[in-house]
Amino acid sequence: MLKRILGGAGVALMAGCSQTYMAGPTPHDTIAVTDTPTWVYSSTGARQCEPGSGISLLDSADQLREHNITVNSSKRGHLTGMFVIALCGAPTLDIYLHEIDTGQLSSAEALGFKAVNELESEDGAAYKLEP
């Protein structure tokens, strides 16, 4: 009888030890994975012969952030391989580039931003980053 009681107690103790406690997600939970980044660009709005015209890099990034688009990085650049008329008040080829999550690309495009890969040609990228 004593063996049965001790045996039952041992099984109960071992069953308690086999319980697994996990902090955080279990293998059955769905975990959102951040999308891969992509770059978008827009014109600075700068005009020839008008120093300080256009918007700032920060304001350009804020246009995205105001619509809940995460901006990971921002850079200045200019378009290459095309020409603009040399005329005061005419637009420049200056652009701002922003790294965002690919899943937010359509939202950025709705705001007027374009995917940088649209600028690529057989000769390579049709833009240059500013130092």
Domains of the chain: 37-129 (3.30.70)
Report the pLDDT value the prediction gives residue 34, as an integer from 0 to 100.
54
pLDDT in tens, 21-35: 334 344 444 444 456
Structure tokens belonging to residue 110: 């709705």
pLDDT in tens, 93-102: 999 999 999 9
Residue 33 CA: distances (Å) to CA of 70, 101, 102, 103, 108: 14, 11, 12, 11, 20
124 confidence band (pLDDT: 50, 70, 90): confident
Q: Is the pTM of this model over 0.85?
A: no
pLDDT in tens, 100-114: 999 999 999 999 999
